[in-house]
Amino acid sequence: MIRNITIGQYYPTSSSVHELDPRTKILITFIYIFGLFFVNSFIGYTFVALSFFGAVKLSKVPLKFILRGLKSIMFILLFTVALNMFFTRTGNTLFAIGFISITDEGLMIAAKMGIRLILLIVGSSLLTLTTSPIELTDGIESLLNPFTKIGVPAHEIAMMMSISLRFIPILLEETDKIMKAQMARGADFESGNIIQRAKAMIPIMVPLFISAFRRAEELAMAMEARCYRGGNGRTRMNKLCYKKKDGYAFVIATVFIIVCILL
């Protein structure tokens, strides 16, 4: 059961957005975030939102799926909006209770902040929804490659990411197994206050860590046996290459950023 969970939130389907080179998508996501910070008017936000909806339409990912990602940041979102609303002192005061006052400018700033955050989150989640974790790590490795000269371990970062992706489900399953084994011997993980429950987790963490270290050792040996010696002199089976589509995407992104700056 737990083995089939997908890490990240990749939505597998075939669309022109899915087929783009991962590097294109990562760069365009950055351009999008950049553009979002340039605009500071409701017309601007409308334009960014429309561009976003256009991209969603192209990607064939259901909008519901994307908005679901907002749930996890609801608290931060509300907190930021509230903070901006209550603590902006400039502008005309609409009403005030004690030391809390709400001004028209405060409302405006809060609304803009909220919109900006929402667009930021949904926009970047579109990247992870349309790019598989493997493509994402390949893309990151390739983008970081020029920086290896100044000491960025591009290959190592990508290798670490892909090994983590490989072992997260395995370790989750193992946790489950250990918990069941402890429960079968009378361990209680459900009752008690938070400290007691945290204490009950120790007998799970210890064997899990031991096993993770053992796995790491064996994996390292297996990798060495297969002649792994870092990124130098290594080739890749699937080479990333930009296609015509990526060119179009960059043109659209350029238009987008220019409009953002003008608005």
Partner 1 sequence: MEKKDSLKNNNLIEAKNIVFEYYNYDENGEKKDTIKALNHINLSIEEGEFVVILGHNGSGKSTFAKHLNAILTPKEGTLFVRGIDATKEENVWDVRKEIGMVFQNPDNQIVATIIEEDVAFGPENLGVEPAEIRKRVDEALETVGMSEYKRLSPNQLSGGQKQRIAIAGVIAMKPKCIVFDESTAMLDPIGRRQVMETMQKLNKEYGITIIHITHYMQEAILADRIVVIEKGEVLLQGTPKEVFKEVELLKRIGLDVPDTTYLMYLLNQEGFNFESDLLTVEEVAEAIWQSR
Nearest distance in Å: CB 81, partner 1: 38
Nearest distance in Å: CB 145, partner 1: 15
Binding residue (CB under 8 A) for partner 1 from 111, 165, 187, 257: 165
Nearest distance in Å: CB 206, partner 1: 20
Kindly state whether residue 19 participates in binding partner 1, applying the rule CB under 8 A.
Answer: no
d(CA 194, CA 175): 19
Kindly state whether residue 1 participates in binding partner 1, applying the rule CB under 8 A.
Answer: no
**In 3D, which of 28, 10, 22 has the Cα closest to residue 125?**
10
d(CA 189, CA 198): 9
Query: Which is nearer to partner 1, 104 or 217 (by Cβ)?
Result: 217
End-to-end C-alpha distance for the chain, whole angstroms: 50
Angle, helices 194-225 vs 154-184, to 10°: value is 130
Alpha-carbon dihedral angle through residues 246, 251, 255, 257, given to the nearest 10 degrees: 50
Kindly state whether residue 176 participates in binding partner 1, applying the rule CB under 8 A.
Answer: no
Kindly state whether residue 210 participates in binding partner 1, applying the rule CB under 8 A.
Answer: no
d(CA 185, CA 27): 52
Kindly state whether residue 170 participates in binding partner 1, applying the rule CB under 8 A.
Answer: yes
Query: Which is nearer to partner 1, 154 or 257 (by Cβ)?
Result: 154
Binding residue (CB under 8 A) for partner 1 from 191, 194, 225, 244: 225
Kindly state whether residue 239 participates in binding partner 1, applying the rule CB under 8 A.
Answer: yes
Contact indicator for 89, 101 with CB cutoff of 8 Å: yes
Query: Which is nearer to partner 1, 84 or 131 (by Cβ)?
Result: 131
Looking at residue 28, the DSSP 8-state letter turns out to be H
**In 3D, which of 54, 50, 34, 53 has the Cα closest to residue 42?**
50
CA 34 from centroid of its chain's CA atoms: 17
Binding mask 99-138 for partner 1 (x = CB under 8 A): ----------------------------------xx----
Kindly state whether residue 160 participates in binding partner 1, applying the rule CB under 8 A.
Answer: no
Contact indicator for 252, 32 with CB cutoff of 8 Å: no
Give residues in contact with partner 1 (CB under 8 A): 3-4, 133-134, 162-163, 165-166, 169-170, 215, 218-219, 221-229, 233-239
